[in-house]
Amino acid sequence: MHVTTEVWLITIAVMTVVLAVDIFVIGRRPHEPSMKEAGIAIGVFSGLAILFGLGVWYVSGPRFAAEFFAGWLTEYSLSIDNLFIFVIIMANLRVPRKLQQFALMVGIVLALIFRGIFIALGAAAIGLLLAAARDCARMDRDIRAGVWAAREGIELHGKTLGVVGTGPIGAQMVRIAAGFGMRVVAWNRSGVDPALPCEELELDRLLAGADVLTEYAFNTGVARHLFCRRCGVKSFYVPRSNPDGFSVNARCLETGTIATLAVEPFDGRNWENSAGVLRHLSSG
């Protein structure tokens, strides 16, 4: 069911008017309501709810009207439990009978305010969760089907990669980054090999200009990993298990770079024992 902004505004306005009448007209003078007054109030508000449900039926059909009436009757029946709570609280706090109606009205207003706040916070939280997870199932299906569509924001093409040190690993990083279409800037203590597809910069200028990737070395420092500073994605690195190869995050490939993608199981928790299955990928 799609509810337009205009309908929401009209609904909120009508509810505000009804609440204002209840506060400033009916509750303007604290008193102990009679059974007749209470019966009239119940009849009026129940009638308004029934008219609203009939309006939903007329505008959106019986399905949504039935959902409204089911929810309204459920809440109405649950409110009977609240009567016992109200009686206990009023008795223990010794609230005068003529002020009990006013005390209940204050409680209702506060409940509406806090419920609105928590509904808004809950909707925002659910929205964040859905935004984070909405593509998970589809991406999993794409990977298993060997189909890949790069997502905007993590492509490397056209980005700048700064490489500090152009030894064997650094040189390979320069070559593969250039193959991705990246602009590569590098610094090496003894100078950068002119054959490498990169621009040599002083260290200070390199660190200031390479704003896309940052380098991190785990434990032994043999394998060096590059992470995007904005999204945290590890784009590619030279693994210590296959020093003459590359581990590439397919998400960071430019659209159209690869046609198919094969997925093979690997026991990452027992990496040392499972690394042997990767030996065929190394020329050594």
Helix (H/G/I), strand (E/B), else coil: 216: strand
| 3-state SS, one letter per residue, for 217-263 | ECCCCCCEEEEECCCCCEEEEECCCCCCCCEECHHHCCCCCCCCCCC
pLDDT in tens, 77-111: 888 777 788 888 888 888 887 788 788 888 888 88
Which whole number is the average pLDDT over 64-77?
89
pLDDT in tens, 1-21: 677 888 888 888 888 888 888
Residues in the chain: 284
Point out which residues pair with 164 in neighbouring strands: 187
**pLDDT > 70 in the chain, percent:** 72
Which pLDDT value is given to residue 153?
Answer: 45
pLDDT in tens, 254-266: 667 677 777 777 7
223 band by pLDDT with thresholds 50, 70 and 90: low
The listed range with the strongest mean pLDDT (94-103, 208-217, 232-241) is 94-103
Buried b or exposed e, range 230-249, using 16+ CB within 10 angstroms: eeebbbbbbbebbeeeebbe
Asked if the model's pLDDT at residue 23 lies above 80, the reply is no
- 282: which residues sit within 8 A by CB, 6+ positions away? 241, 242, 243, 244, 245
Which pLDDT value is given to residue 54?
Answer: 92
The listed range with the strongest mean pLDDT (12-16, 68-72, 154-158) is 68-72
151 band by pLDDT with thresholds 50, 70 and 90: low
Which pLDDT value is given to residue 50?
Answer: 92
Indicate the helix (H) or strand (E) that contains 160. strand 160-164
236 band by pLDDT with thresholds 50, 70 and 90: low
In this prediction the pTM is 0.39
Which whole number is the average pLDDT over 205-226?
55
Helix (H/G/I), strand (E/B), else coil: 215: strand
Asked if the model's pLDDT at residue 124 lies above 70, the reply is yes
The listed range with the strongest mean pLDDT (9-18, 239-248, 274-283) is 9-18
Average pLDDT, rounded, for the chain = 76
Going from N- to C-terminal start, the domains of the chain cover 5-133, 160-263
Residue 162, burial from CB neighbour count under 10 angstroms (0-12, 13-18, 19+) = buried
